Amino acid sequence: MDWSVQQIAKLAGTTSRTLRHYDEIGLLKPSRTGDNGYRYYGHAALVRLQRILLLRELGLGLPAIAEVLDHESDAEKALGRHLEWLRQEQDRLARQIDSVRRTLEAVKGGGEIMAEKMFDGFDHTRYQEEVEDRWGKDAYAKGDAWWRGMGAEEKDAWKQRSRQLGSDWIAAAQSGAAADSDEAQQLARRQVEWLRAIPGTPAAAHAAGSNGDIRGYVTGLGEMYVADPRFSANYGGESGAAFVRDALRIYAERHFQSGR
């Protein structure tokens, strides 16, 4: 069985124009084209469209979606991960709803607000959008679960470690150290080790034996630190972030093979 463009657009809540655009850029080809020139979509195309729409919800652009689909052809495995994340998101939203309900009841009734209960289900990662855009919601879900699983002391220790790393980067940049100096390269090593400790990151996957592009990931992060003022603020501004970027690029070139 197959479906026309109009049928699929209606079922998926999209437009015929969008589907035609997906065809034109090679993202979603119809299963067949009729003698009348109409496009028709079969089961495999529908599964691919569902994955495209899921990835769009993560905030990925079309080129990034094409790259993800090209590198992960096992639809069953990919959809399984999507399903796992959706269940985690369902649980998070349920806790968030319950948290807001309790607060609303306390406000209405003049009761005591339980501070430790008010933020259950809310995100604890500052850069959710960036994580999901670049590495998918599965990566964010793993990191979020890891963070929520920590105790208060563990979280404080992690924050302190992060602040210290940022302060050390700023101090090194202000001292005039070169990006390829021993000092800068030790900081780059600490930065990579810090990233490896966060579940869901490509650095963590690489540490676990994955053959992902760790070199591209580390150098890409450096570029992001410079491009986004929210990140560059952690390193004393754009010039400090540029120092971090250059040091990470040199470290990655020295220690990681391209594409591995």
- Shared domain for 132 and 171, answered yes or no, is no
Q: Does 9 share its domain with 97?
A: no
If asked whether residues 114 and 213 sit together in one domain, one would say no
* Token pair recorded at residue 29: 């080809």
Provide φ and ψ at 33, rounded to 5°. -120, 125
pLDDT score, position 122? 47
3 state SS of 4? strand
Q: Report whether pLDDT(8) > 60.
A: yes
pLDDT band at 210 (very low <50, low <70, confident <90, very high): low
Q: 65 with 93, same domain? A: no
Range of the domain at 47: 3-71
Q: Per-residue pLDDT tens for 41-53?
A: 998 899 889 988 8
Q: Is residue 165 located within the same domain as residue 145?
A: no
CA-based radius of gyration for the chain = 23
Query: Do 177 and 254 belong together in one domain?
Result: yes
Confidence band for 211, pLDDT divided at 50, 70 and 90 = low
The CATH number that applies at residue 53 is 1.10.1660.10
Given 27, 54, 71, the domain boundary residue is: 71
Q: Are residues 45 and 133 in the same domain?
A: no
Q: Are strands 3-4 and 32-33 parallel, antiparallel or unpaired?
A: unpaired
Domain match, 21 and 87 both: no
Let me know whether 97 and 134 are in one domain: yes
The average pLDDT across 188-192 equals 93
Q: Distance (Å, rounded) from C-alpha 144 to C-alpha 146?
A: 5
Q: Averaged over 204-233, what is the pLDDT?
A: 75
39-41: strand order across its sheet: 3-4, 39-41, 32-33
32 in the same domain as 21: yes
Q: Do 191 and 244 form a contact (C-beta atoms < 8 A)?
A: yes
What is the percent of the chain with per-residue pLDDT over 70, rounded to a whole number? 78
The CA-CA-CA angle for residues 220, 221, 226, to 5°, reads 100
Residue range 122-161, pLDDT digits in tens: 444 445 555 556 556 666 667 667 777 777 788 878 888 8
Q: Which of 149, 169, 195 is the last residue of a domain?
A: 149
Specify whether 173 is located in the same domain as 141: no
pLDDT, average across residues 202-218: 72
Domain count, the chain: 3
| Domain stops at, among 51, 71, 91 | 71
Position with higher pLDDT, 235 vs 183: 183
Q: For position 216, what pLDDT does the model report?
A: 83
Q: Highest-confidence range of 151-155, 208-212, 231-235, by mean pLDDT?
A: 151-155
The two three-digit tokens of residue 36, written as one number: 């009348």
Domain identity same for 156 and 213 = yes
pLDDT at 116 over 50: no
Q: What pLDDT is recorded for position 151?
A: 78
Over the chain, what is the mean pLDDT? 79
pLDDT of the residue at 215: 84
Question: What is the per-residue pLDDT across 36-94, written as a single tens digit (0 to 9) for each?
Answer: 888 999 988 998 899 888 887 766 678 878 877 877 767 777 777 777 777 777 777 78
Q: What is the pLDDT of residue 115?
A: 46
Query: Span 1-20, mean pLDDT?
Result: 89
List the single range of 95-99, 135-139, 176-180 with lowest mean pLDDT: 135-139
Q: What is the CATH number of the domain that holds 230?
A: 1.10.490.50
pLDDT at 259: 47
Amino acid making up residue 43:
H
